[in-house]
A and B are shown apart, each in its own frame.
Chain A
């Protein structure tokens, strides 16, 4: 039965063209795919386009999936490729609404604290959004999905050492660009 089937059964169902298998597979992975797309693009409309393209590619190519890698890695590769293929320049709007809601829901803190925290949140997204594509996708895979170096290396087709060195480099960039703001909000909160 497809609805309760294992991932392998679902994949085989998709390969046979069973519509229900596609739907179940989509439900299982939609949040994962959309999250990566959104965190990479920083824009909901673009993220929808990326997620849509990823699933369309998945449905059209799943007949060629032979299980040489795990399905999850294969799916991540599809998302990453869709992200990197996304050429549209989009405006990344400041999440003003999110910031206002945070202010209303946290009466214990001063307005200034909220503004600073809100600005930090915005700045983190902006700074991540300003990273080169390859660095940005690395950060998204690591922090949106919490993937291991091994998984990231398999998805991006590079070695663990390369993943580690690139991540360290990106961490330094982010730290340098955000540290002043962190100092203003009260320093080290980790």
Chain B
């Protein structure tokens, strides 16, 4: 029982009852087990530290996967550019190498849509064709790594040009951003100027043999391309 202080006022019966009713008791044996069980999740903090290398590994794998994906995309663009250069050389041999020989923009567009499921708005270039700035030669289909690539051949200003178009690998999955340039790349060689880009669900590569004035090749789809300054 707690020893009374000199000035502590408490009825003796109350002191007795309090000491009796509130006296110490023995802790249940299960208390230690409960504490042990609770410490397991607390040790989870060290587990979380231990999981950092795993998380770092996963992050590294994800980064490597993304790098590989980008690398593959770049390879694909590079392949398209090589192909575009070869196409330019082909067209120099005459229109006999084309699957469709036609100067009609509507006919070429419809044919490409049916054969390669690509849609190229050539109609804008009709007015330029009417002025003689662009002269359509025709189109052909090429198989590259299992994908069908549409090639449109035409003359622009003083040079020959070709526009290669293919569907992106993600096309049809519904995750492509339409009407949006996803990538853009300009390359030059001794024989051609090359422009590659992605837009919507299609990948484009434009090659022009006119290395000094490559903007003329853009007139196929963009009548106002003469005003462009960024492609040179």
Contact = CB atoms under 8 A, between A and B. Distances in A.
Instruction: Decide whether A and B assemble into one complex.
Output: yes
Contacts, number: 109
A187 B29 CA distance: 39
A125 B31 contact: no
Contacts of B5: 149, 164
Contacts of B17: 120-121, 124, 178
Interface residues of A, number: 46
A78 B214 CA distance: 80
Nearest to A190: B12
Interface in A151-190: 164, 167-168, 171, 174-175, 178-179, 182, 187-190
Contacts of B24: 31-32, 35, 144-145
Given A128-B22, A164-B7, A174 B27 contact: no
Nearest to A124: B21
Interface stretch (B33-41, B127-135, B165-173): B33-41
Contacts of A146: 1-3
Interface of B: 1-3, 5, 7-28, 30-32, 34-35, 38-39, 42
26 contacts: A23-B32, A31-B27, A34-B31, A35-B23, A38-B25, A44-B28, A48-B28, A52-B31, A52-B35, A56-B35, A59-B35, A59-B39, A120-B17, A121-B20, A139-B18, A143-B22, A144-B23, A146-B2, A148-B3, A149-B5, A164-B5, A168-B8, A178-B17, A187-B13, A188-B11, A190-B12
Interface of A: 23, 26, 30-35, 38-39, 44, 48, 51-52, 55-56, 59-60, 120-121, 124-125, 128, 139-140, 142-149, 164, 167-168, 171, 174-175, 178-179, 182, 187-190
